[in-house]
């Protein structure tokens, strides 16, 4: 799942678009997919799998977003349909997938091997933040981070809360959300 690229992402890259360039419907659709993606990643870490039926529904949303973006790029309004599945429907679908597996909620893995993985990830994120800081750019959009600093992006959005304080912190840097999916980097 982690290397999967949605059709809307490819289309945005092809037309050099940022999420902020898109109409509201497309942005809402992208936020829905991003939030579902976070839930899927959390579940996958616990060894849970997403059903093909749920993936089909997510892909239907992706296809709808593509049409919204094409309407924007081509200055048409051909897509009058509503988004096929809203976030609540998709979250419920995911919960059903995981209940059907009958697995218990995973407990946090504190084995020495996992602790080493966490340390290695922390060092990798620190290096990515150092690279980001050295560019001289202080504010970073989520899509910019995703494009070049994958470990930092994944960590940010694995733990993302819509109403919470979001960011990552290492011993040398802080990357904190200062506006919706806009992050400011500072050196300690």
Please tell me the distance from the alpha carbon of residue 106 to that of residue 36, in angstroms, as a whole number: 19
Confidence of residue 2 (pLDDT cuts 50, 70, 90): very low
Confidence of residue 62 (pLDDT cuts 50, 70, 90): very high
63, 55 contact by CB (below 8 A): no
- pLDDT (average), residues 66-82: 86
Q: Where are the extended beta strands (E) located within the chain?
A: 139-141, 167-169, 173-179, 182-187
Share of the chain above pLDDT 90, in %: 40
- pLDDT (average), residues 119-127: 89
Please tell me the distance from the alpha carbon of residue 38 to that of residue 164, in angstroms, as a whole number: 15
Among 9-13, 46-50, 87-91, 111-115, the minimum mean pLDDT is found in 111-115
pLDDT of residue 176: 92
Among 7-11, 96-100, 177-181, the minimum mean pLDDT is found in 96-100
pLDDT of 46 higher than 90: no
More confident residue, 155 or 81: 155
pTM listed for this prediction: 0.52
pLDDT of residue 76: 85
């Amino acid at each position: 799942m982690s290397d999967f690229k949605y059709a809307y992402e490819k289309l945005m890259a092809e037309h050099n678009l940022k999420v902020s360039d898109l109409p509201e419907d497309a942005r809402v659709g992208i936020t829905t997919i991003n939030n579902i993606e976070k839930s899927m990643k959390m579940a996958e870490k616990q060894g849970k799998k997403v059903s093909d039926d749920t993936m089909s529904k997510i892909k239907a949303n992706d296809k709808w977003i593509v049409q919204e973006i094409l309407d924007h790029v081509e200055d048409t309004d051909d897509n009058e349909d509503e988004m096929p599945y809203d976030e609540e429907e998709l979250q419920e679908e995911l919960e059903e997938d995981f209940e059907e597996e009958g697995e218990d909620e995973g407990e946090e893995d504190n084995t020495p091997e996992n602790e080493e993985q966490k340390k290695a990830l922390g060092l990798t994120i620190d290096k990515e933040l150092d690279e980001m800081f050295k560019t001289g750019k202080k504010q970073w959009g989520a899509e910019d981070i995703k494009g070049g600093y994958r470990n930092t992006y994944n960590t940010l959005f694995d733990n993302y809360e819509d109403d919470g304080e979001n960011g990552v912190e290492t011993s040398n840097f802080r990357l904190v959300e200062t506006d919706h999916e806009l992050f400011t980097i500072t050196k300690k």
